[in-house]
């Protein structure tokens, strides 16, 4: 299988999302984790944006040595010079420069002509090549750009020395079939397209970022840009863990491999959540709390018999310790018995039936029955059984306090 490049932009595009900014020490800490995760390219930040971002890029560039470390720069001299300065000391530096190419952005944001855009794009590549041999160019809003003009820009930056050409779906507007045709068309029309690696950077505004990224592989891209947990501007970027595990689970449809150490996926997600204070939603694919959790009795029974019935990947493959059975109103007796064994309760068949009734009744009130609830229910059953065996004259000695009954099942 052909190996693709995973370009991680968690520290740059991901950090630009509201609530996800990171201090220098936090960026370095996460960069070490991304290194252990096995990303090929790590975009460390946007040095011209602030002094802290400059220092963060410089610190990351000096800390991690295996992956390529990229710094973002607009197609402007000052940006490129600042990026190069931040990357001094990097083992494998890359300058990533960009400019918008859609008429909408040119007219209303940049207020420049197509000719000015083309000259500025090519000039930025030439300046970046004075500092480093590895230069990436991004045509912002590429998927909404005029194809003829986009071809001209891509040819110009290749001639100027770009080594990677990224054509982003900046606002997440495209669909997978459009992405395939888009990359196939541009690559076929661009003179010298075989001299560069084409890259896809897809946003998730319509929830299609991962699907579009995978479609880009069919279109000829061999670098995918993504973030841990899919964080990023607005609805975010393509999720690194979803891309990687889709390739791993479905090689029959997508014959590509990556250098990602998949057992580091869950801990990478957890670390990002700790640093930013923004955890993923419980139903997030691959790394969400419920990704390998089961409550429905039919599902739990199936998993106990053969995990493949309801799990298409093993939790340990992504660094999740184990499959979780959640006891709730949809759970069955098999799952309850499995949980009892885990916490060293050994009910008889009759006791299991009674315990099951109590668990379902409690689940109707508090949704999830946790281990301490189960132990409390078991204790109540055993106490009730003991009272039933004590002569009536002495029963008062073991009567429960009214407060105990009021707190039934709530851990009080």
Extents of the domains making up the chain: 2-276, 293-406
Distance of alpha carbon 258 from alpha carbon 50, whole angstroms: 33
Answer for the pair 189, 227: CB distance below 8 angstroms, yes or no.
Answer: no
Q: What is residue 345's predicted lDDT score, i.e. its pLDDT?
A: 85
Start-to-end C-alpha separation, the chain: 57
The confidence score (pLDDT) of residue 295 equals 67
Q: What's the token pair of residue 334?
A: 């098999």
What's the pLDDT score for residue 301?
Answer: 76
What integer pLDDT is reported at residue 391 of this predicted model?
57
The hierarchical CATH code for the domain 2-276 is 3.20.20.70
Q: What pLDDT, on a 0 to 100 scale, did the predictor assign at position 402?
A: 41
> What Å distances lie between residue 141 and 106, 147, 160, 173, 175, CA to CA?
10, 12, 21, 10, 14
Residue (of 126, 138, 120, 124) closest to 13 by Cα position = 138
pLDDT at 395: 43
> What integer pLDDT is reported at residue 343 of this predicted model?
81
pLDDT score recorded for residue 228? 98
Q: Which residues contact 220 (CB under 8 A, 6 or more apart)?
A: 183, 184, 187, 198
pTM of the model: 0.84
> Tens digit of pLDDT per residue, the chain (412 long)?
899 999 999 999 999 998 899 999 999 999 999 999 999 999 999 999 999 999 999 999 999 999 999 999 999 999 999 999 999 999 999 999 999 999 999 999 999 999 999 999 999 999 999 999 999 999 999 999 999 999 999 999 999 999 999 999 999 999 999 999 999 999 999 999 999 999 999 999 999 999 999 999 999 999 999 999 999 999 999 999 999 999 999 999 999 999 999 999 999 999 999 999 999 998 999 999 888 877 677 787 787 788 888 899 999 999 997 777 778 788 878 888 888 888 888 999 888 888 888 888 888 888 788 888 888 888 888 888 888 776 544 444 444 444 333 343 333 3
């Amino acid at each position: 299988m052909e190996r693709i490049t995973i370009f991680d932009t968690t520290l740059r595009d991901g950090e630009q999302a509201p609530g996800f900014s990171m201090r220098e020490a936090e960026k370095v800490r996460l960069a070490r984790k991304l290194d252990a995760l096995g990303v090929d390219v790590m975009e460390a930040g946007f040095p011209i944006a602030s002094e802290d971002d400059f220092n963060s890029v410089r610190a990351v560039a000096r800390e991690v040595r295996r992956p390529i470390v990229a710094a973002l720069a607009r197609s402007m001299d000052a940006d490129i010079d600042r990026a190069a300065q931040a990357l001094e000391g990097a083992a494998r530096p890359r300058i990533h420069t960009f400019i918008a190419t859609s008429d909408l952005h040119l007219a209303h944001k940049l207020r420049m002509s197509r000719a000015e855009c083309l000259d500025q794009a090519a000039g930025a590549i030439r300046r970046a090549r004075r500092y480093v041999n590895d230069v990436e160019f991004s045509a912002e809003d590429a998927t909404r750009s005029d194809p003829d003009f986009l071809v001209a820009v891509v040819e110009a930056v290749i001639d100027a020395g770009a080594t990677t050409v990224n054509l982003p779906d900046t606002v997440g507007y495209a669909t997978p079939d459009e992405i395939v045709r888009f990359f196939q068309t541009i690559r076929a029309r661009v003179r010298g397209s075989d001299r560069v690696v084409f890259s896809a950077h897809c946003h998730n505004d319509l929830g299609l970022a991962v699907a579009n990224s995978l479609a880009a592989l069919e279109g000829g891209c061999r670098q995918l840009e993504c973030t841990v947990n899919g964080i990023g501007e607005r609805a975010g970027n393509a999720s690194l863990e979803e891309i990687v595990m889709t390739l791993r689970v479905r090689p029959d449809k997508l014959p590509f491999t990556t250098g990602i150490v998949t057992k580091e996926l869950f801990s990478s997600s957890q670390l990002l959540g700790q640093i930013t204070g923004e955890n993923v939603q419980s139903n997030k694919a691959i790394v969400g709390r419920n990704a390998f959790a089961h409550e429905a009795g039919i599902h739990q029974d199936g998993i106990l018999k053969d995990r493949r019935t309801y799990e298409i990947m093993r939790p340990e493959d992504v660094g999740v310790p184990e499959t979780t059975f959640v006891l709730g109103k949809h759970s069955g007796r098999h799952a309850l018995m499995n949980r009892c064994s885990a916490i060293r309760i050994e009910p008889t068949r009759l006791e299991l039936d009674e315990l099951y009734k109590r668990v379902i009744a409690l689940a109707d009130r508090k949704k999830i029955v946790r281990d301490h609830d189960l132990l409390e229910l078991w204790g109540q059953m055993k106490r009730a059984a003991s009272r039933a065996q004590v002569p009536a004259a002495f029963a008062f000695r073991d009567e429960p306090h009214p407060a105990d009954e009021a707190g039934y099942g709530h851990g009080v």
